[in-house]
Amino acid sequence: MPVRAPVTPPASAPSAARLGSRARVPLRARVGARIRGHRVSAVAPRAALDLDALDLGQTLGAIKRKETMLNLPPGKVGLFGARETFEYLADPNAFIEKRVRKYGPVFKTGFFFKPAVVFGSREAVEAFREFESGLPADAALPETFRELHTAYGALRQSGAEHEATRANFGKVLGRAALEKYAPILARQTRDFVLGEVLPGDCGNSGGFLTEQQKRSLEREGKIAIGKDGAVTTLASGDDVAGASKNPKLQPGYDLRQFCLRSLFELFLGIVPPEGLMNEMYAYNEGLLALGKLSPEFAEGEKALKTLREYVEKHYRTIRAQGKLEDERFFFLEQYSLARDERGDLFSDERVATTAILMIWGAYIEAAANMGHVLWTLMRHPEALAETRRETRGAFTSADLKSADPNAFELSRVFTKLRYCEAVVKETLRVVPQTAGGLRVNPTTRKFLEYDVPAGYVLTADPRVAFLDPTNFPRPETFAPERFLDASDPRRTKREEIEETGNDGGGVLGSRSRDPDAYFPGGVGQHKCPGISLSTLMTQIFLVYVTGAFDGWAPDETGEGSFDPEYVQIPIVIIDDKYRLELERNWQYE
């Protein structure tokens, strides 16, 4: 199936002097000038790798796996799946795109050194759903992940044990929970956007630093480290000279720190010291370590222990003080009543571990989504204008300044921010941040017209479905209207443009509501229970960022670039050094 390669205009970096001389040109106009005349792809730019050559490894591998007489999907695994695995790890989205282009929406490959069948056509996902619940989930997870995710982690569990774990998710991630969280999220987002980004306190980090880097930068007088571990960059001559007065934001770094802080507070009821929260990064790296002997794994184990001890002590303390019923401890209160598959209450250690796993599962996904939304809207000024119209129509600047809980009541957010929701969904489609879940096929089976041998990983991959033009006509086009109700005037307006042919025609026939076509959080027994939370967080972020700012543009000074580079694993997220410059709205001058 032909899928077009992403087209990205080359970014030529203007010098600091040029940027300075254009300081009075609105940032939006600058972005417009850069993207005008180019066909702007909705798809994030990626590095191109070409390691795909027919090799002896595939033939030997097929003999070794005794599959020469079977009818497997197209593609290649190799002898041990190593080459495919490394190519995947280098750039997962490009890897998938290249194979979809070459083999179509069902293909075989090697994922994490295991033979795998990857698919995303609607028919394949439908067929997969019929037997997915009987497949063991944990067998496909890398060893380090399995270990650090702990026995309490849902991704490792199956059967009754998993069912009991999921039953508790509903209480802390379902609608009633989101009703409690919405006003808290509004207050947190206000403090961040109006209290930190707007006065210019963001965008000045060199990115996340290791303890050793911090020590040497502190010695060199480039940063200061507070008692709670917070890092402040001390302005250098370079930073001061010719610097623009516009606030800056590093979406990778700043949004990640913001989400980390927000989710700790949302789930624990307090914001721990920054040093403790940053242990989450070491934990994350440990999960993805290449083996249990690697130093990252040991650091990850240590980080998990530190986090666990902290959360467990906090949980015991508030329980002993009789504070569990306080609104802010809603999450912990729910887990104090949680029962496992035998009907036993969760141990304190399990409650603490669950809270850590939930913060881990949520913060980086929400941060990635927020950063990607800034990028898609910057690239599509008409969508940014529509978003702004919606958010400013629904929320006054007084609502924003007070983070009024009535204004941010959940049902109001849901009904007033339909276009923002569509932007979030379309952004997840064009900048997919996560793969699908991995399951191991226990017995040789027929899957569609193919044979899949025992031991193969099966994975319904959202990225494959997102690229399928039968699911999403003109998949390379960013069109939030795909996700609006048929009766929404903004969709009707797009329909009119398309009918008159001005826009090339036809994105609205999308299967955006079909769970076999649009599944950013996976399918089946382990499908994500938290997407609604990250969507809500991103919607509220959009309210604030489009309320306080009229637009934003890349900061191309120094090593800055027009488009970001991405960290690819474990999820796709804008890297730390990418920086945006934001244009204040007059009400916030």
Peptide bond into 570 cis (omega under 30): yes
279 binds ligand HEM (CB under 6 A): no
Q: Please, what sign has the CA dihedral across residues 501, 503, 505, 508?
A: negative
Q: Work out the angle at residue 201's Cα, subtended by the Cα atoms of residues 198 and 207, and round it to the nearest 5 degrees.
A: 125
Question: How many CA atoms, within 13 angstroms, populate the side-chain half-sphere of residue 290?
Answer: 6
Instruction: Pick from 365, 461, 498, 555 the residue near ligand HEM by CB under 6 A.
Output: 365
Min separation Cβ 26 and ligand HEM, Å? 31
Which two three-digit tokens encode residue 483?
A: 């996700």
Nearer to ligand HEM, 183 or 529 (CB): 529
**Based on CB atoms, which residue is closest to ligand HEM, 246 or 434?**
434
* Binding residues among 428-457 for ligand HEM as defined by CB under 6 A: 428, 433-434, 436-437
Is position 361 an interface residue for ligand HEM (rule: CB under 6 A)? yes
Distances (CA, A) of 212 to 208, 216, 217, 296: 12, 6, 9, 15
Which of 116, 76, 99 minimizes the C-alpha distance to 2? 99
Scanning residues 21 to 60, which ones bind ligand HEM (CB under 6 A)? none
CB closer to ligand HEM out of 107 and 518: 518
Q: Which residues contact 560 (CB under 8 A, 6 or more apart)?
A: 13, 554, 577, 578, 579
Site size for ligand HEM, by CB under 6 A?
Answer: 27
Among 141, 184, 352, 366, binds ligand HEM (CB under 6 A): 366
Nearest approach in angstroms of CB 172 to ligand HEM is: 8
Taking the C-alpha atoms of residue 493 and residue 474, their distance in angstroms, rounded to an integer, is: 18
User: Of the two residues 116 and 531, which places its CB atom closer to ligand HEM in the complex?
Assistant: 531
Candidates 79, 117, 141, 155; binder of ligand HEM (CB under 6 A) is: 155
Min dist. Cβ of residue 112 to ligand HEM (A): 14
- Sites for ligand HEM among residues 369-388 (CB under 6 A): 369
Which of positions 521-540 make contact with ligand HEM (CB under 6 A)? Answer: 521-522, 524, 526-531, 533-534
Binding of ligand HEM by 358 (CB under 6 A): yes
Q: Measured from the CB of residue 439, what is the shortest distance to ligand HEM in angstroms?
A: 8
Q: Report if residue 138 touches ligand HEM, rule: CB under 6 A.
A: no
Q: Is 422 in the site for ligand HEM (CB under 6 A)?
A: no
* Assigned token pair, 115: 């033979």
Pick one of 57, 520, 564, 570: the residue that binds ligand HEM (CB under 6 A).
520
Stretch that binds ligand HEM, among 22-30, 105-113, 231-239, 361-369 (CB under 6 A): 361-369
Binding mask 167-186 for ligand HEM (x = CB under 6 A): ------x-------------
State yes or no: residue 251 binds ligand HEM (CB under 6 A): no
Q: Check: CB of residue 288 under 8 Å from CB of residue 144.
A: yes
Contact between 96 and ligand HEM (CB under 6 A)?
no
What residue ranges in 354-468 does DSSP mark as E strands? Answer: 439-440, 445-447, 450-452, 457-460
Rounded Cα distance between 499 and 514, Å, is 24
Q: How far is CA 437 from CA 69, 187, 248, 515, 527, in A?
A: 28, 34, 36, 15, 8
For ligand HEM, the closer CB: 410 or 533: 533
Q: What is the DSSP string of 500-517?
A: TTTT-S--TT--TT-TTT
Residue closer to ligand HEM, measured from CB, 231 or 377? 377
Q: Which is nearer to ligand HEM, 76 or 350 (CB)?
A: 350
Cβ contacts of 63 within 8 Å, gap of 6 or more: none
Residues 300 and 400 sit within 8 Å (Cβ to Cβ): no
Nearest approach, Cβ of residue 159 and ligand HEM (Å): 12
The DSSP element (H or E) to which 425 belongs, if any, is: helix 418-430
Q: How many CA atoms lie within 13 A of 307 on its CB side?
A: 30
Stretch that binds ligand HEM, among 202-210, 345-353, 363-371, 447-455 (CB under 6 A): 363-371
Tokens found for residue 177: 């929970």
Q: Which is nearer to ligand HEM, 149 or 474 (CB)?
A: 149
Q: Which residues bind ligand HEM (CB under 6 A)?
A: 154-155, 166, 173, 358, 361-362, 365-366, 369, 428, 433-434, 436-437, 520-522, 524, 526-531, 533-534
